Amino acid sequence: MTYKARSRLHWYHWELAERYGLDESIMLKHLIYWIATNSMNGINKHDDRWWTYNSVKKIREYFTYWSEGQIRRILKSLVKKELIIEGNYNKHAYDRTKWYALKDEKYWLENYNPVNEIEEWKAKY
């Protein structure tokens, strides 16, 4: 099963889209989801932060409507706006997969945690 088949619903907060841009808001929500999931599963914690990682090619499997160039631009924009940080915690030096963490992890996980929103949504329907 591909990422696309598992992840058909993409959502964002309109206030984040107004503040940071629509593409950035969608990507930010995606990163928050995976960081929250990793936190709940107790994986990918480095330097007192929870991280997620993926190549641009793999991210594109989630977001087929964006090119790899657009994904790189969106991620760079989030770094420039100081919403996320990049790291490298790969086991092999030749592996250049980027890792991403939330700059203000506590704020984002407390206020925009999509895992909590999914559970609330399921409870309504």
**Tens-digit pLDDT profile for residues 83-94:** 999 999 999 989
Residue 36 phi/psi, 5-degree rounding, is: -65, -40
Q: pLDDT at residue 101 above 50?
A: yes
Ranges of each domain in the chain? 3-124
Q: pLDDT at residue 115 above 60?
A: yes
- State the architecture of 3-124 in CATH terms: Orthogonal Bundle (1.10)
With cut-offs at 50, 70 and 90, classify the pLDDT of residue 122. Answer: low
CB 103 within 8 Å of CB 85: yes
With cut-offs at 50, 70 and 90, classify the pLDDT of residue 114. Answer: confident
Helix (H, G, I), strand (E, B) or coil at 63: coil
Structure tokens given for 30? 């995606």
Structure tokens given for 112? 């925009």
Locate tokens 């399921």: which residue? Answer: 122
With cut-offs at 50, 70 and 90, classify the pLDDT of residue 5. Answer: very low
